[in-house]
């Protein structure tokens, strides 16, 4: 912890903060004063340009004084305040004018600075004439050109007067600026002395604070070294403890791995031994099965031979029995035939025999009729099937022929349409070429007409006449040009002089009449 001597830095920081706030307040005041000065100059220029005159006049002084007094009393400037400034300027301008008019005076106007030559020339209107002769065909003595020249002369005289006024204003402004610079220099020198004294005091306080801070930093550094040493010892102890734990865990894992390897080797040996015993047991079983199969095969062969012998004896016995039965049947049938013949030859047997024969004939006839009907039905079915197949073939043939006919008709129609479309396309192509040629001819004719119109327009633009109506509207200027010798001499001099004008001046004096430009 820092000692009690360090507490003086708090008071030093407090004094520094107070001084910083004071300097900041002074800077803000200076910035506000500079901003108000710039705003005052800008507002005065704009309001003088809007409501004042070009030359020095009481109106300009009133405007500047009103703006200065308004800004001196205003703390924050907004758009509403700017509108109020303009209203105050209007009222301040109207009050002197109304008071001046009540005394019978005439207010000063920007129009009162017309040249003496203009007033003297107006007094001589109708008495003399100028040597200037207006010629509409001559670009130099065209009425419009002469009027533009008169305007240019007035503008030049106005510019000369403005330059004289501007030079006077600049001299007055330079004098005011010199006074302000002198006052500002005195104030700056005084401020510099105060700042140097304040800076020396701050430097002394800063050196004292640095010494105290170095002492405090030294104490804190020693304490940090002790804390770092203790922390390093704790870390080393913890690292050694963790290393021993890891070493013990590693040894235990190695012992477990060795035991597992022994168990695995033992299991592997047991498996190999059991597999060898199983192979031996299977070999013994295989040999026993082979011996058993040999015995069974021998018994099977003996059984087959015995069965074949029994079968042969059985077949011979059965054949003997069949022959005996067949012979007995033949003997019995012969005896039955003899008995039947004797019975048929007697009376009752004969009638029964005839009845049986009649029945048998009837049955045979019906069976024959049924067989014939079946044959006829089968023949009819076959004939009907043949006729149906024939009809289907004829129908398919007719349908194929009809389809071929329709396809041929469609192909003929498509061919006719294709030929007609091709002929129409060729005709359209030929007509299109003709139309393009006609359009090109029309375009050439149109271009020729446009060229003629452009030539006529250029010819018309070269000659700019002043109509009677325009002459009557510009009567005052034309009388001044034609009847004032001084003005006429100025215009003649302006028209005949060869002087290179700047581009901005040439643009300012450029004629407003379309197609008419001033030549040097």
- Domain boundaries defined on the chain: 1-113, 355-463
What pLDDT score does 107 carry?
38
Answer yes or no: is pLDDT of 444 > 60: yes
pLDDT in tens, 212-252: 888 888 899 999 898 989 989 999 999 999 999 999 999 98
* 3-class DSSP state of 139: coil
Residue 390 has pLDDT above 80, yes or no: yes
Mean pLDDT of the chain: 76
- The DSSP result for 155-207, as a single string, is HHHHHHHHHHHHHHHHHHHHHHHHHHHHHHHHHHHHHHHHHHHHHHHHHHHHH
Give the per-residue pLDDT at 454.
Answer: 82
Structure tokens at 505: 């001046």
Cα separation values, 348 from 207, 341, 429, Å = 175, 12, 119
pLDDT mean over 2-16: 48
Q: What percent of the chain has pLDDT over 70?
A: 76
Q: Given a cut of 50, is residue 3 above it in pLDDT?
A: no
Percent of the chain with pLDDT over 90: 4
Handedness of CA 187, 188, 192, 193 (dihedral sign): negative
CA gap 277, 197 in Å, rounded: 114
pLDDT, position 33: 78
Q: Residue 303 and residue 308: Cα distance in Å, rounded? A: 9
Q: How far is CA 358 from CA 311, 343, 353, in A?
A: 52, 19, 9
State pLDDT tens for residues 273-324.
Answer: 888 888 888 888 888 888 888 888 888 888 888 888 888 888 888 888 888 8
Which residues does 516 contact at the CB level (< 8 Å), separation at least 6? 139, 142, 144, 145, 461, 464
Mean pLDDT value of segment 172-189: 83
What is residue 344's predicted lDDT score, i.e. its pLDDT? 59
Confidence of residue 108 (pLDDT cuts 50, 70, 90): very low
- Compute the distance between CA of residue 178 and CA of residue 170 in angstroms, rounded to an integer: 12
Q: How far apart are CA 27 and CA 33, in angstroms?
A: 10
Mean pLDDT of the 493-508 span = 55
User: In the prediction, which pLDDT does 140 show?
Assistant: 65
pLDDT tens digit sequence for 349-378 = 566 767 777 787 788 888 888 888 888 888
Q: Could you tell me the end-to-end alpha-carbon distance of the chain, in angstroms, rounded to an integer?
A: 92
Mean pLDDT calculated for residue range 250-264: 89
Tokens matching residue 452: 């003629």
Whether the pLDDT of residue 265 is over 70: the answer is: yes
Per-residue pLDDT at 144 exceeds 80: no
pTM, rounded to two decimals: 0.23
Q: Is the pLDDT of residue 515 over 50?
A: no
φ, ψ for residue 3 (rounded to 5)? -80, -175
pLDDT grade for 111, boundaries at 50, 70 and 90: very low
Are the CB atoms for 143 and 473 separated by under 8 Å?
A: no
Mean pLDDT of 404-426: 87
């Amino acid at each position: 912890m820092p000692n009690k001597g360090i507490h003086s830095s708090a008071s030093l920081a407090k004094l520094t903060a107070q001084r910083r706030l004071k300097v900041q307040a002074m800077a803000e005041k200076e910035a506000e004063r500079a901003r108000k000065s710039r705003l005052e100059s800008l507002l005065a220029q704009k309001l003088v340009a809007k409501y004042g005159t070009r030359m020095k006049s009481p109106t300009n002084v009133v405007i500047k004084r009103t703006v200065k007094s308004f800004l001196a009393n205003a703390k924050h400037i907004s758009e509403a305040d700017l509108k109020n400034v303009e209203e105050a300027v209007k009222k301040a301008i109207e009050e002197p004018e109304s008071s001046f008019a009540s005394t019978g005076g005439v207010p000063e106007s920007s129009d009162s600075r017309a040249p003496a030559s203009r007033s003297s020339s107006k007094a001589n209107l109708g008495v003399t004439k100028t040597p200037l002769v207006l010629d509409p065909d001559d670009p130099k003595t065209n009425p419009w050109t002469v009027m533009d020249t008169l305007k240019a002369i007035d503008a030049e005289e106005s510019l000369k007067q403005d330059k004289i006024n501007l030079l006077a204003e600049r001299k007055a402004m330079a004098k005011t600026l010199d006074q302000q610079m002198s006052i500002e220099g005195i104030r700056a020198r005084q401020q510099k002395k105060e700042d140097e004294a304040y800076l020396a005091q701050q430097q002394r306080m800063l050196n004292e604070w640095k010494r105290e801070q170095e002492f405090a930093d030294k104490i804190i550094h020693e304490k940090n070294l002790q804390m770092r040493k203790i922390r390093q010892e704790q870390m080393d102890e913890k690292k050694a403890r963790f290393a021993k734990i890891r070493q013990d865990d590693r040894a235990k894992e190695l012992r477990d791995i060795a035991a597992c390897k022994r168990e695995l080797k033992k299991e592997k040996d047991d498996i190999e031994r059991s597999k060898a015993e199983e192979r031996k047991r299977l070999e013994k079983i295989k040999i026993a099965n082979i011996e058993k199969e040999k015995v069974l095969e021998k018994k099977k062969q003996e059984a087959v031979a015995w069965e074949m012998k029994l079968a042969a004896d059985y077949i011979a016995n059965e054949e003997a029995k069949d022959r005996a039965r067949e012979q007995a049947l033949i003997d019995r049938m012969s005896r039955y035939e003899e008995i039947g013949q004797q019975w048929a030859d007697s009376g009752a047997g004969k009638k029964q025999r005839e009845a049986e024969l009649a029945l048998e004939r009837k049955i045979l006839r019906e069976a024959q009729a049924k067989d014939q009907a079946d044959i006829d039905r089968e023949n009819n079915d076959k004939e009907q099937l043949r006729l149906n197949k024939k009809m289907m073939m004829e129908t398919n043939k007719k349908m194929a022929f009809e389809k071929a006919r329709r396809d041929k008709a469609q192909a003929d129609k498509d061919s006719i349409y294709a030929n007609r479309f091709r002929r129409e396309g060729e005709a359209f192509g030929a007509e299109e070429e003709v139309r393009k040629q006609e359009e090109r001819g029309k375009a050439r004719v149109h271009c020729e007409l446009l060229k003629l119109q452009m030539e006529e327009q250029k010819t018309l633009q070269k000659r700019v006449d002043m109509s009677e109506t325009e002459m009557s509207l510009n009567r005052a200027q034309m009388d001044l040009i034609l009847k004032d010798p001084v003005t006429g001499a100025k215009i003649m001099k302006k028209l005949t002089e060869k002087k290179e004008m700047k581009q901005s001046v040439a643009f300012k004096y450029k004629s407003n009449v379309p197609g008419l430009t001033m030549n040097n």
